[in-house]
């Protein structure tokens, strides 16, 4: 993700051509964030034509061409340990890796984590005791 954010800041588009049976949520997000092109060709017969016309064009020519638009981007995160989509997880503050459960050490960069804290309720949810006068 750091590379994607750096590409976005530098105005470098990330193009993705996915060949396989499933879409890649990570590459969809990378292409969307950096204003690149995400394409999963229906037929591989014209793969060279896709690559030469869609992905090999310079930035000036892209404004003139009718490039594929993103149909729908899946913005859900995937854990790095199981590659499954998660709703809530733990994030390494050093490398931004996402995990579905708490670990003692980041498997990506090796950073050591502190203890997991249980969910804290806000003070407005707690009953307050007022001193009697």
pLDDT digits (tens, 9 = 90+) for 7-32: 999 999 999 999 988 888 889 999 99
- Tokens 């708490």 — which residue? 102
Run of H or E including 25: helix 25-33
Average pLDDT, the chain: 82
Work out the average pLDDT over 89-101: 88
| pLDDT tier for residue 82 given thresholds of 50, 70 and 90 | confident
Closest CA to 29 of 61, 72, 73, 65: 73
Q: Given this model, what pLDDT does residue 129 score?
A: 52
Q: Given this model, what pLDDT does residue 14 score?
A: 94
Q: Given this model, what pLDDT does residue 117 score?
A: 60
d(CA 10, CA 82): 31
* b/e code 32-62 from CB counts within 10 Å (16+ = b): bbbebbbbbbeeeeeeeebeeebeebeeeee
Q: Given this model, what pLDDT does residue 57 score?
A: 83
């Amino acid at each position: 993700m750091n590379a994607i954010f750096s590409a976005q800041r530098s105005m470098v588009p990330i193009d993705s051509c996915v060949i396989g049976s499933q879409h890649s949520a990570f590459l969809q997000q990378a292409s969307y964030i950096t204003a690149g092109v995400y394409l999963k060709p229906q037929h591989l017969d014209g793969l060279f034509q896709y690559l030469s016309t869609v992905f090999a064009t310079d930035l000036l020519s892209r404004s003139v061409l009718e490039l594929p638009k993103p149909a729908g981007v899946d913005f859900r995160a995937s854990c790095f340990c199981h590659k499954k989509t998660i709703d809530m997880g733990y994030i390494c503050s050093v490398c931004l890796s996402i995990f579905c459960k708490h670990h003692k050490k980041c498997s990506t960069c090796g950073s050591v984590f502190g203890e997991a804290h249980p969910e804290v309720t806000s003070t407005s949810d707690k009953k307050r005791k007022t001193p009697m006068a």
